A and B are shown apart, each in its own frame.
Chain A
């Protein structure tokens, strides 16, 4: 099973690399090469790594230790773009955004691994600068050594085609997603009034300019389509304090589950599938998970996932 999975993944990544070459994306070849090499040549990593206990930083450190360090994905001299959820002008305690300590620690890890540049951005729903500030992500990421880039100007977004998309065949994507060598997705897991749950897949809505198009054309399909454009090499879910109701913004009456957990995976569909369980639901509750699997983005069958559970 393990070896078969390993071989399958190697083949899949190789194929994706080749596809990227044929599609002629200007930044794709070198990027895909770098990405496909790393995780497979170093060691076999499980589908899902979940760490409980400790603090945000120690959970991340433990999870990264399990994959042999972030160096498995970030090479010396590479540029990295980190995409947290900075959707709302809400304080960290509300848990409407990715925890700032987690973002900071991830930035530090990337820099320690020799990253030339680490960018952090999100296309916030609330006012951009206010969300960056109130979430504390801007100040924490800067402390960690990142360059925090605004996501609220249409001039930073470029129109791209999404090969394989069913509905969202074209959209405008932030230039850093096109530019960076390594793309890391750091969502927060929480309830979502529209999509039901927001986690790794839904978080990628923040790399596009026109979110309204998702809502107008069918949210579930567009979320899955959007993930096809550029898959993050790593998804790291902040499930420290999970907002169970009143999401995504968070309200005075929002309920929480203090899980003190972090989930890490290279598979954006699998990580959403297990996160659904952490939210008290099932993967089947969310249309975009099924559609993501249909598009070959990953596997959502919890029974077949290799999950490593750790505590710190």
Chain B
């Protein structure tokens, strides 16, 4: 009899495991491989992750309304709505960090046991994350966001290993980002090795929010204590460590609806489904119906705690919104700073689509996906260049490379909306910085030798070579058509400080379209053939 009951849960559980495996494989492939398929895979997984999706939705709401807003909000609203209806399934199916933790937990192979919730920690973590994000730094808030933790580990630890294996260069790889990402991931996985989904139940802000929804959801896993025999089989398979078999209780706020317990239960006390009949009605029921069992009322203490949690979470959310609106926000931004002047008086450059440094630092969750997808590797994590507010937020490092003129990889990848999706045509006119030419440093003037590396690489013609007083082609710079891609900066051979370099601008603008006549000045070639030719068709030859 128990067999026939477990067939449904088993099928559902296999589907759940399949989904989790597909998400993890797509995410892993998406971060570790190069090419269009990997771009698509990582983008697909990333766009459904709740933390960046929520950032995207909030940023779009603040920016305005329209069709774009709807698109931006779809993922977050869909995940939240489906969680409100079907419970907290996201963590066991869509979150790749969740699946990684399950793998770490499986490694240990030991039976799991009930773990007490740390409600204060969970509530505080959520409130702190919400406040930090509202104060203007989603990247600092993202240090306990599962997607960002996952992304940084893959971008700064695993991808470099893959590159190393492929004999590729590792430009810009720095110890700080490697260690920071590895330590954070190491801590999460160590916790799961010891105690299942400890991170998800006690620290994760996404888990905290979905935990609240799980309590309210009409469909979720329920434990009917009337038919529970406290055998403990469920608790030994519960990754969330949320079933207290002895007390015959299930902590719905931490349950991820993985369905392992339902399958393991020999009496059918655990089931996934709608709300059971209210206990006061059971008393009034006919005895034969009472026997079919129903959920007993929650213990008083637990109920009180849950209400307290709920109030704290809602209060935290409101506090965060208030903080964002308060002048304290501007004060906070000033107090911790948003950018620092780099070497040679250059300001940091942030990617096209960021619109402004202020907005970028507000929204970017520093998951590293854009850094991972950037083919030229010009995108690198900031370690202070964007101030304390922008630790690990990407910036362009022109000493490593430059932004490719025909590339929108970072814009396509960004799941948080920190980088707006611009068309290639728009991206090519987005001015993210401005070049500065210092003639006294330039080899043409200093060494009287030909160079032109800057003009050679410039995609817009903002730097051109024009024969000048030296008799050599000299660089000439036009700021209005410069987009700040850094090609000239990267190519300039002068060291330690370059003759031409790009400084970032805090609010991106639109550059002028280069004139099609820009390269008309070059004299046309002699069309007449040379006199030296002797064969019959010599006239057609220029020599």
Contacts and interface: CB of A to CB of B under 8 A. Distances in A.
Interface of A: 50, 52, 89, 125-127, 129-130, 134, 152-156, 191-196, 211-220, 244-246, 248-249, 251-255, 257, 259, 261, 274, 277-281, 287, 302-303, 307-309, 311
A143 B455 CA distance: 34
B524 to A, nearest CB: 7
A255 B520 contact: yes
Given A194-B451, A253-B520, A307-B543, 14 more contacts: A50-B541, A52-B541, A129-B375, A134-B406, A154-B169, A193-B452, A220-B449, A245-B521, A246-B519, A249-B457, A251-B518, A277-B542, A311-B537, A311-B540
A218 B448 CA distance: 9
A87 B461 CA distance: 17
A212 B491 CA distance: 7
Interface string B157-201: 000000000011100000000000000000000000000000000
21 contacts: A52-B537, A89-B404, A125-B457, A127-B404, A127-B407, A152-B168, A153-B168, A155-B167, A195-B450, A212-B453, A216-B493, A216-B495, A219-B449, A219-B452, A252-B518, A254-B519, A255-B520, A255-B524, A278-B542, A281-B525, A307-B533
Contacts of B516: 252-253
B530 A215 contact: no
Interface string B445-489: 001011111011111110011000000010000000000000000
B494 interface: yes
Given A152-B169, A302-B543, A309 B524 contact: no
B465 A255 contact: no
Contacts, number: 154
Nearest to A308: B535
B167 to A, nearest CB: 5
Contacts of B456: 125, 192-194, 248-249
Interface in B91-107: none
Contacts of A281: 525
A179 to B, nearest CB: 15
Interface string B50-62: 0000000000000
A220 B389 CA distance: 47
B523 A280 contact: yes
Contacts of A215: 443, 451-453, 491, 493
Nearest to A243: B519
B532 A193 contact: no
Contacts of A252: 514, 516, 518
Nearest to A89: B406
Q: Which 6 A-B pairs have the closest CB atoms?
A: A280-B525, A194-B452, A245-B522, A246-B519, A216-B493, A277-B543
B401 interface: yes
A136 to B, nearest CB: 14
Interface string B505-542: 00000000011111111111110001011010110111
B517 A219 contact: no
B443 A216 contact: yes
Contacts of B530: 277, 302
Most buried by B among A193, A194, A219, A279: A193
Nearest to A221: B449
Nearest to A222: B449
Interface residues on B, range: 35 or more
B167 A219 contact: no
Nearest to B537: A311
A311 B459 CA distance: 36
B167 A130 contact: no
B525 A279 contact: yes
B325 interface: no
B143 interface: no
A192 B452 contact: yes
Nearest to A246: B519
Contacts of B451: 194, 215, 219
Contact of A130 (B407, B491, B535): B407
Most buried by B among A127, A129, A219, A254: A127
Contact of B533 (A130, A261, A309): A309
A303 B447 CA distance: 34
Interface string B374-412: 011000000000000000000000000100111100000
Contact of B525 (A52, A257, A287, A309): A257
Contacts of B494: 216
Nearest to B517: A253
A245 B460 CA distance: 14
B524 A280 contact: yes
B525 A194 contact: no
B472 to A, nearest CB: 10
Nearest to A215: B493
Given A125-B456, A277-B542, A307-B533, A255 B443 contact: no
Given A249-B457, A255-B522, A280-B523, A194 B401 contact: no
B338 to A, nearest CB: 30
Contacts of B532: 302-303, 307
B35 to A, nearest CB: 8
Nearest to A279: B525
B537 A309 contact: yes
A308 B535 CA distance: 8
Nearest to B407: A130
B231 interface: no
Contacts of A259: 542
B34 interface: yes
Nearest to B541: A309
B473 A196 contact: yes
Contacts of B543: 50, 274, 277-278, 302, 307
B450 A155 contact: no
A55 B232 CA distance: 79
A213 B451 CA distance: 11
A168 to B, nearest CB: 13
Nearest to A53: B540
A175 to B, nearest CB: 11
B447 A218 contact: yes
Interface string B36-59: 000000000000000000000000
Contacts of B458: 249
Given A156-B167, A252-B514, A194 B524 contact: no
A135 to B, nearest CB: 12
A152 B542 CA distance: 36
Contacts of B452: 192-195, 215, 219
Contacts of A220: 449-450
Contacts of A257: 525
Contacts of B473: 193-194, 196
Contacts of B535: 308-309
Given A129-B34, A215-B493, A244 B524 contact: yes
Contacts of B450: 194-196, 218-220, 287
B525 A246 contact: no
Nearest to A129: B375
A111 to B, nearest CB: 26
A218 to B, nearest CB: 4
A213 B443 CA distance: 12
Interface string B125-146: 0000000000000000000000
A52 B540 contact: yes
A207 to B, nearest CB: 17
Nearest to A303: B532
A244 B525 contact: yes
Contacts of A213: 493
